[in-house]
Chain A
Amino acid sequence: MEGITTLLFSAVLGATFLAAAAYVVFFINQSKEVRRAARVIFLVSGVLQTLYIVWRYIQAGHTPITSQHEAVVFFAWATTWAYLSFRWRYTVKNFGTFVAINVFALLLISAISPREITPLLPALRSVWLPVHGGVSLIAYGFLSLAFCGGLMYLLLERELKRKRFGYIFERFPSLDSLDQLNNHCLTAGFIFLTLGIVTGSIWARQAWGTYWQWDPKETWSLITWFLYLIQLHQRFTVGWRGKRAAVMAVIGFASVVFTLWGVTYLLGGIHSYAG
């Protein structure tokens, strides 16, 4: 059984690496054939990630988001499918390259974490585990897309302001499409993040008897939530868009990453058993 787990994970890692590599090649030579190949491989990677999560679910008997490895795989999966889901609706030139690299980086992090299946702690035996954990990680998936878009926006914006019309200028999509992408991903991410916090709070009430107890992870989630709230609010009221929105997407994502890892390793707290 463990052999299959390892095999599946290796397949996920391999497919994602190939997808990222193909996207990088496409980014360099802009060949349409390479892009088609990259898209297919990335879709295969998405399917393999799903299979891997389902396999682990069957093996563990609970939703596989309780260890560092599992949570990050789920994060990568959410990012992949968030990307694939809206790719149907509109394409953003060369965005896939950044997303594929992002997903591959996440999977690499998950690869170096202990991969054994651990029995579920009694406190986590609840229907809220998949709901709260899943929703939160899906939020992270969208927010990581916003991060990729924000990064691209900042790179392109810098080139435009410096009046350099070379490599990046040719390959990047328009500022407007990146800004819209940020807007969509931040909105979707924010909704899921809110749901994650609300469900977590309800679960906390059931498990610990209180809705909120200022555990570091809760606090940082709230900080992250406020960062995105400010961004969305400002966009609608005074039109924070473009560069400022992109900077906020990057800062917000840094906060997400800190909530996910920084809190666990630096601050501890009752949430630390989860990813």
Chain B
Amino acid sequence: MPGEKILLLGVNHKTTPVEIREKIALTNGYQEPLAALKNFSGLREYYLLSTCNRVELLVIAEPEVAVEEEIFNFLFDGRVDREDWRRYLYVFSGQAAIRHLFMVAASLDSMVVGEAQILGQLKEAYRHAAQFGCTGPFLNKLLHKSFSVAKRVRTETAIGSSAVSISYAAVQLAKKIFGNLKGKKVLLVGAGEMAELAAEHLVGQGVGDVVVANRTLARAVDLAKRFRGNAVSIEELVQQLEYVDIIISSTGATEIILNKDQVKSVMRARMNRPLFFIDIAVPRDLDPRLIEIDNVYLYDIDDLSSVVEINKSDRDREAVKAARIVDEETLKFQKWYQGVAVTPTIVALKDKFEDIGRGELDRTLARMPELGEAERKNMEKMLAAIIAKILHDPLTYLKSESCAGRDNSDLKITLVRELFGLSNGDNGR
């Protein structure tokens, strides 16, 4: 394959249990892994995104080099079993990779569709990669495009407002239960983006203390710092229930992390003061039967959105609209990319013809010294015309619109290059 290949590899909250994601997640920032990737041969450009719900690597690689294996090893080796990662990892290439990136940027792949933080995280990840010199013209263009796609989705659909209204609904419900939120304590279980957003709203309403419980304490400490709160380990969850009033859970654990009996056991110590649980996680973190306990209230995302009267079908409709925008932008980008990919071949083809023509002309002219200036000019003109006429059809073929929207430019480039014996790979660029 000529040109380059675009690959996106990653794991997210949908495909991978939190235990595995945590093993892959970058705990020490971007520097180290970005530096490690520099040593890989065959990577032209790359960038790495790591949030609590996903780890994704986007690479622009040399076409001939099989970089996948190396990257798999880099991501998983020693941390996850070989058989396991094949199951969890998703790999997109070409157009699908571009589309996935746009979906992520537009927050359509998030746990809470429409939450705005992912875009900030994406920009942050890009900034690191750019500073480190890992991105080039292609990724710069692609990532900037993803930001503008996200912006377009946000302005043209109501997808963003639903995430905001979900936090608003959480506040409404909390007020209906507690009256005044002053002096109430909130516990964030798992450090998800949506939990952060909801916590921000609650703090804005006067909630006093924020406690963060997370499997990895470092992340909990980070988040707690933002709210000037405390961090605790996830094992202390049940004890913490004695002191807090509002619990927002978004761990993305595959199992239920809090069951009915555990909560029931703390109600006496709490003197039956109400507990308000919000379960943002998909799949659920909290036993749905918690609501059977007196003075315990439990709501998930769908319940919260019904408070603010955005029903699921509305949200789905907005998501469909947003996905359409993403598809549209993916196609546009693809078209631009095809143009870029075809150009080197066109240049190479022209160069080759002109080289041959110039060579033959020079030799012929050398044997015919009797020709005057005017005749020489005429022969040069004739040669240029022949080259142009021969080139016309191949060039039209290369530049032609792809058939029925399918991307077959790679195929065309390969054919032309083979047919005319053009050298492969990057010397064409």
Contact = CB atoms under 8 A, between A and B. Distances in A.
Interface of A: 156, 160-161, 163, 165, 169, 172-177, 180, 238-244
A239 B270 contact: yes
B177 A239 contact: no
Among A161, A165, A244, which residue has the most Cβ atoms of chain B within 10 A?
A: A165
Interface in B169-191: 173, 175-180
B321 interface: no
20 contacts: A160-B173, A160-B176, A163-B299, A165-B306, A172-B176, A173-B179, A174-B176, A174-B178, A175-B176, A175-B178, A238-B271, A239-B268, A239-B270, A239-B271, A239-B272, A240-B272, A242-B272, A242-B274, A242-B295, A243-B294
A176 B306 contact: no
B271 A177 contact: no
Give the top 9 A-B pairs by smallest Cβ distance, nearest first. A239-B271, A174-B179, A176-B179, A239-B272, A242-B295, A165-B307, A177-B179, A163-B303, A243-B294
B272 A241 contact: yes
A202 to B, nearest CB: 37
Interface residues of B, number: 21
Given A239-B273, A242-B274, A161 B297 contact: yes
A267 to B, nearest CB: 35
B291 interface: yes
Given A161-B291, A161-B297, A174 B177 contact: yes
A54 B169 CA distance: 51
Contacts of A173: 179
Contacts of B175: 174
A238 B179 contact: no
B201 to A, nearest CB: 17
A25 B352 CA distance: 89
A134 B173 CA distance: 42
Nearest to A242: B295
Contacts of A161: 291, 297
Interface string B13-56: 00000000000000000000000000000000000000000000
Interface in B357-387: none
A175 B272 contact: no
B279 to A, nearest CB: 12
B177 A241 contact: no
Q: Which of B175, B176, B177 has the most CB of A within 10 A?
A: B176
Nearest to B268: A238
Contacts of B272: 238-242, 244
A163 B288 CA distance: 12
Interface string B296-329: 0101000100110000000000000000000000
A89 to B, nearest CB: 15
Nearest to B178: A176
Contacts of A240: 272
B177 A160 contact: yes
B295 A241 contact: yes
Contacts of B299: 163
A118 B306 CA distance: 60
A169 B308 CA distance: 12
B177 A175 contact: yes
A32 B274 CA distance: 31
Contacts of A156: 176
B97 to A, nearest CB: 40
Contact of A176 (B173, B180, B271, B307): B180
Contact of A242 (B173, B294, B307): B294
Interface string B264-283: 00001011111000000000
Contacts of B274: 175-176, 242
Nearest to B292: A161
Contact of B176 (A163, A169, A238, A242): A169
